[in-house]
Structure 1
Amino acid sequence: MQITASTVSLTVDDVAASQRFFTTHLGYVEQAAAEGFASLARSDAALDVVLLARGTEVLPADQRDRHASGLILAFTATGIEAEEERLRAEGVEITMPLREEPWGERLFQVTDPNGVIVQFVEWVTPSAPANA
């Protein structure tokens, strides 16, 4: 098997709202769309995103009423400080401000109109312990 692309499929209440968020603020472009469906991609190595309306009949019956929750869509990127500033300037609510973890992970989060959490991560050399 050879994997040629990676896609996450998110079931949301308002496909158009998430589609606008991803295309307006996160650089995605529409690949295909229909009632209750949108396929989004970027030209870089980012994960493709498919948005499906909750309740759509193309999903198996036991999956139709689930909502994308309890997951974090995380993107490893460079220059996330500038990215956070850009998103804030565009009016996007930063739901977790930029912070650095002791193991060298810098991250911040935004949340789309359907509650999809998007996290941006940048890896840096961890700071030396204070008593080193």
Structure 2
Amino acid sequence: MNIVASTVVFTVDDPAGSRHFFTTYLGFREVLATPDFTWLSRDDAAADILLRQRDLEQPRERIAQPVVVFAVTDLAKEYERLSVEGAPITRQLRRKPWGEALMRLTDPNGIVVELTEWIAPGGHPDVG
């Protein structure tokens, strides 16, 4: 088996709010929009995102909090850009002792997006 593409599916109350979040702050573009779903993509290796309208008859508590993690380059620069743009940052940029720098944003529907960059311990950049 050879996996050639990936899609992450999020079931949300407000697909338009999530579409705005992903296209405005994370560089996704809308590929297709229907009354039932919106398909977003990027031109790099990131997984595609499919936003589905939540079935209002399904209890909200039965839907797990979705999290998607993107490994990126130059996270410190992205953190500054997102801060200036007023992105909804919910975990400030920090560096873990094992060499991972990370930050989190949360979209209007509660989708947590973690941006991470792997840096050799003792290497650059210097993140709090």
TM-score range, shorter chain: 0.7 to 0.9
Alignment of 1:1-132 (within 5 A): 1-55=1-55, 66-67=62-63, 69=65, 71-127=66-122
**Equivalent pair of 1:12/1:67 in contact (CA under 8 Å):** no
SS at match of 2:108: coil
Using the alignment, how far apart are the partners of 1:64 and 1:9 within structure 2?
18
Pairwise CA distance, 1:95: 0.5
C-alpha separation between the residues in 1 aligned to 2:108 and 2:11?
13
Amino acid at match of 1:28: F
Q: Which amino acid aligns with 1:93?
A: P
SS at match of 1:73: strand
CA contact (8 A) 1:12 1:68 kept: no
> Identity rate of aligned residues, in percent?
48
SS of the aligned residue for 1:92 comes to coil
RMSD: 2.0
Give the superposition deviation at 1:64. 8.5
- Report how far residue 68 of structure 1 moved: 5.1
1:95 partner letter: T
Q: TM-score, normalised by structure 1?
A: 0.85
Q: After TM superposition, where is structure 1 displaced by more than 6 Å over at least 4 residues in a row?
A: none
- CA displacement, residues 17-45 of structure 1 (integer Å, 9 cap, x when unaligned): 00011011110011111113100000000
Which letter does structure 1 place at the counterpart of 2:90? T
Q: How many residues align?
A: 122
Note the residue ranges of structure 1 that are not aligned, 5 or more in a row: none
Which secondary structure does the structure 2 equivalent of 1:103 belong to? Answer: coil
Structure 2 gap segments, 5+ residues each: 124-128
Shift of 1:3: 1.5
